[in-house]
Structure 1
Amino acid sequence: MEKTITMKVRKDPAPKEQRSLLKLKGSLISKGYTQIIHIEDLDEVFHLNTFEIPEQMGDEVRQYIAAFIASQELSQTITITN
C-alpha cells in the first residue's frame, strides 16, 4: 500500500535555499523513496510537493526529511504537512 507525503515549500526561496531544495528532492529520488514529485500551487506564497512511498517507509522518509530540513536550516522554507 502507498502513503502520500506532502511538503509545503516556499515559492521564492533564496538561492542557497533553492539549491538545498533541489538537493533534497534529488536525494529523495536517488535513495529510491520515490520516482516523481508532483508540484502544485497552494497559494501566492507556497507550493505543495507530494509524492508516494511504500507505507512501511513512512517513518524513515519523514525522519530523513526532518533531519535534512534541520541540517540545511530550511524550517522557514519547507515543512512536512502530513
Structure 2
Amino acid sequence: MDNGNEFKVLKLKGSLISKGYTEIIHIADENEDFYLNSFLTSPDHKKDAEDFVLDYISMHNLSDSITLIDGIGK
C-alpha cells in the first residue's frame, strides 16, 4: 500500500473513533503485507458504522486495500 492510501486508512480509523462508533481499533499483524483491523460497536450503531466504512472505501478508492468483514470474534 502506498503512503497516500496508508494515510487514508489512518484517517478512516480516526474517523470511526471521533464519530463515536468505537473507542479503540484492534490491529492484528498477519504478515508484513496483511493487517486485520477490527473494532466493536453497539448494535444501535452497527448499520451506521458499516455504511460509513463502505462509503469511505468507495469515496477514497480503497476497495483494493480494505475489505469489510462482519462478525470477527463472534
Interval of TM-score (by shorter of Structure 1 and Structure 2): 0.7 to 0.9
Aligned residues: CA RMSD: 1.1
Taking only the aligned residue pairs, the percentage that are identical comes to: 40
Corresponding residue of 1:49: 37
> Which of 28, 39, 42 is matched with 2:27 structurally?
39
Return the offset for 1:14.
Answer: 0.5
Q: Deviations over 1:46-67 (max 9, x none)?
A: 1111111001211111000000
2:26 counterpart letter in structure 1? H
Runs of 4+ displaced beyond 3 Å: none
Distance 1:58 1:75 in 2: 20
Higher percent of residues as strand: 1
Return the offset for 1:37.
Answer: 0.3
Question: Which ranges of structure 1 fall in alignment gaps of 5 or more residues?
Answer: 1-12
Q: Structure 2 length as normaliser, TM-score?
A: 0.87
